Amino acid sequence: MLEGMYTAAAGMAAQQSRLDAVANDLANASTTGYKRVRMAYRDLAYTAGTIGGTNALRLGAGAAASMIGRDDREGSAQETGDPLDVLIEGRGFMQVKLDGKTWLTRDGHLQVDAQGRLATGDGALVDPPISFPKGTTPDQIAIGADGTVTAAGKKLGQIRLVNVANPAGLDGGADNRFQATSVSGAVSAAPRTTVLRQGMLESSNVDVGDAMADMIDAQRSFELASKAIQVSDQAMEIANGVKR
């Protein structure tokens, strides 16, 4: 008889996950190359409610939320003029290496590290590595649409653009870096249409208006489920009142 309470509690838990996801999206509304999280909701198992009803009555067990990957639409381009900023136009990622592991990222805010190597903002090296000769100034660096990196007219290497069959299945997300999994499929070369644009960055694809509306909806749904718990509780109180 206490099922109603747990049913509503499951609904609250689902809305809580949604609020967490929206809060994270909003926090990353201006993170370069951030992709908003996609959540999906479903109802849970149904069982025959034999107490107080016949077998025709089927009682559900609430709702559940699950993350189904990320919204991989491109964020808008933002002109920065910095020669070490690159925007990936089209589908795909840059391949980088950190701590011996290969990662994928769309965060094109690059830098030259202390050893003169091309790296991302958090120190992951572009893979295969590209080193600049000593004394290279940023304005000598040119990054071509195909990823070719030249300094003062001399070709130094090429930034590798890759893609996976299902970007929604990529693992990670911390520091804007992702790893291929069995769900995402293996890493392969990005399509030819994917190009780099120097001097630009990709904005976060979080739409603040949408995210706020989603948050309000989640909060109200949370409240509704909590009211159902209160009513179940009152019903129990009434039932307890039968024996004075």
Partner 1 sequence: MERGLYIAASGMLAEMARQDQLANDLANASTPGYKADRVAQRAFGDLLLSDSADGTTVGPLGSGAAIDKQETDLRQQAMRDTGQPLDLAIQGDGYFAIRTAGGVRYTRNGAFTADAKGTLVDQLGNQVLGKNNQPVKVTDGAVDATQVGVFKLANPVKQGDSYFTGTAGGQDSGEVRSGNLEGSGVDPARAMVDLMASMRAMEATQKAITTIDSTLQLTASQVGGLPG
Tell me the number of residues near partner 1 by CB under 8 A: 67
- The structure tokens 């190359």 sit at 33
Query: Tokens representing 143?
Result: 């990054």
Query: Which residues 50-109 are close enough to bind partner 1 by CB under 8 A?
Result: 51-54, 56-63, 66, 68-69, 71-73, 91
Residue with Cβ nearer partner 1 (10 or 149):
10
Is residue 41 within 8 A of residue 15, CB to CB? The reply is no
Q: Which of 114, 182, 192, 209 binds partner 1 (CB under 8 A)?
A: 182
Q: Of 82, 70, 103, which is closest to residue 204 (Cα–Cα)?
A: 70
Taking the chain, what is the end-to-end CA distance rounded to the nearest angstrom? 20
Scanning the structure block, which residue is given the tokens 């949604």?
A: 18
How many other CB atoms are found less than 10 A from the CB of residue 232? 19
Q: Is 175 in the site for partner 1 (CB under 8 A)?
A: no
Element (H, E) at 171: strand 171-172
Is there binding between residue 234 and partner 1 (CB under 8 A)?
A: yes
Q: Which of 40, 189, 208, 212 binds partner 1 (CB under 8 A)?
A: 40
Give the residues lining the site for partner 1 (CB under 8 A).
1, 3-5, 7-8, 10-12, 14-15, 18, 38, 40-46, 49, 51-54, 56-63, 66, 68-69, 71-73, 91, 165-169, 182-185, 217-218, 220-221, 224-225, 227-229, 231-232, 234-235, 238-239, 241-242, 244
